[in-house]
Amino acid sequence: MAQQTSLEGIRVAILLTDGVEDAELKEPRKALDQAGAKTTLFAPKSGKIYSMNHHDKAAQYDVDETLDRARSQEFDAVLLPGGALNADTLRVHPRAQQFVRDMDEAGKPIAVICHAPWLLVSANLVRGRTMTSYHTIQDDVRNAGAKWQDVEVLRDKNWVSSRQPSDIPAFNRAMIELFAEHRQAAAERARRVA
């Protein structure tokens, strides 16, 4: 049995809106919560958002905070779940773009699955990166300057990316490993400064 990695105390921002792919929100969030992370759902609007199971509405989720209140310095990592409707709406949201830019500039980990790389494309972050995504957006990712690979999960520096719901077990493992490594590195830096 694999050793459970503790993310106790890690604060993870989850950016999403209506049309998020249900499994890509529910399963990674559950894995983060079980590892001890504190997750916060940010959306452009307050209230509830609905999720999709491919083409059908699936569930509703309470929004914790609106995107205009998201501050990157208050979080250790970010999760971007997919879903075409969700990702297509978020990619043009200026606050979402700025949030991921700030997280990446600070070297904080970003976990992204399915169509969610559209936000990283629109935020002008993918040039020179190696990543994967849902196969239908590979041209967008490549045209923005990234090297795209058709693998279930891919790690590149502070990013982990994955293709689709069937890859979620591998994505969850890689995401938790990345977040835990970032936490350990931050703790070591803090000890050296003290």
Active site amino acids: 115
Locate 163 and state its tokens: 């293709």
Supply the DSSP string of 22-88, one letter for each residue: HHHHHHHHHHHHHTT-EEEEEESSSSEEEEEETTEEEEEEE-SEEGGG--GGG-SEEEE---HHHHH
Q: Which residues pair with 53 in a beta bridge?
A: 56
The CA distance from 54 to 190, in Å, is: 43
